[in-house]
Structure 1
């Protein structure tokens, strides 16, 4: 995963968390759920990137033998 992608995903996660918390503070369910969705999407992207990195690592380890 490139550094820029890591930064974008973490930023998206942070924005989602802030929206979710703002929705909680103002009793705005729509804002809460939009923030929760955005946070979950960012975490899913990060998990996918971690899997890709792990697969590259495994492939590299197997070709080094």
Structure 2
């Protein structure tokens, strides 16, 4: 008799776990920069500051 509750799905490998962690950190960094960057990190590049500013509007973050 087979176990009805046994999982047939393969468990994620360590490499897949690290890949998921890398993506989570990357996305968290992008969201942090888009929401809280006020020119401090992009002081020498006004174009980058404007891109972050537009990203705030696109994501719905209040900025002014």
Task: State TM-score, norm by structure 1.
Answer: 0.40
Bigger helix fraction: 1
Task: State TM-score, norm by structure 2.
Answer: 0.41
Q: Which has the higher contact order (CA 8 A, sep 6+)?
A: 1
